[in-house]
């Protein structure tokens, strides 16, 4: 993927789910650096999200942290609505939120499976559907699935030496 040129997203509005940490925070920083106004969701790390927003705003960019659990369709739809009300119609939607719950088949609960599917799969559908009400035509969709990445989620799962 070619790197975007600085300022190439000037005037654009983006929403990144799971944007307060890891890959999401990197995306939020890059979109802001490239000129976009960026809303991003977080589920529990309010202080981390506010710190990221402050960092971006201190550089003269716009950032809007929104508390929304991606497992909840209602919260995700509300985040899309709030982002558009505060920043304008979305030009970019990044479904980044994801979780990993490990376990063996004999100990893995159905509730854990349902939660992982809700956040990792269903939330992408819900978010894109909510965002698509701003751009019913001429939508470009890019799908990036990086696999295991050295983020906070992965680091906690790696065996200790």
pLDDT at position 119 is 94
Residue 97 CA to its chain's centroid (Å): 5
| Mean pLDDT, the chain, whole residue set | 87
Q: What is the pLDDT of residue 144?
A: 65
pLDDT reported for residue 1: 38
**Residue 13 phi, psi (nearest 5):** -120, 130
pTM (predicted TM-score) = 0.84
Q: Which helix (H) or strand (E) holds 28?
A: helix 22-33
Which residue has 């929403």 as its token pair?
Answer: 15
pLDDT at residue 35 above 90?
yes
- Quote the pLDDT of residue 41: 97
Q: Superfamily for 13-155?
A: NAD(P)-binding Rossmann-like Domain (3.40.50.720)
Domain boundaries along the sequence of the chain: 13-155
């Amino acid at each position: 993927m070619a790197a975007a040129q600085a300022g190439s997203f000037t005037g654009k509005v983006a929403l990144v789910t799971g944007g307060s940490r890891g890959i999401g925070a990197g995306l939020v920083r890059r979109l802001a650096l490239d000129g976009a106004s960026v809303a991003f969701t977080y589920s529990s790390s309010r202080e981390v999200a506010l710190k990221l927003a402050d960092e971006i705003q201190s550089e003269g960019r716009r950032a809007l942290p929104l508390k929304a659990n991606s497992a909840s369709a209602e919260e995700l739809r509300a985040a899309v609505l709030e982002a558009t009300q505060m920043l304008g119609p979305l030009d970019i939607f990044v479904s980044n939120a994801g979780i990993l719950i490990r376990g063996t088949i004999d100990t893995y609960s159905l509730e854990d499976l349902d939660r992982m599917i809700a956040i990792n799969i269903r939330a992408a559908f819900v978010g894109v559907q909510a965002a698509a009400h701003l751009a019913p035509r001429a939508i470009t969709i890019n799908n990036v699935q990086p696999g295991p990445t050295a983020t906070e989620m992965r680091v906690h799962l790696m065996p200790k030496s």
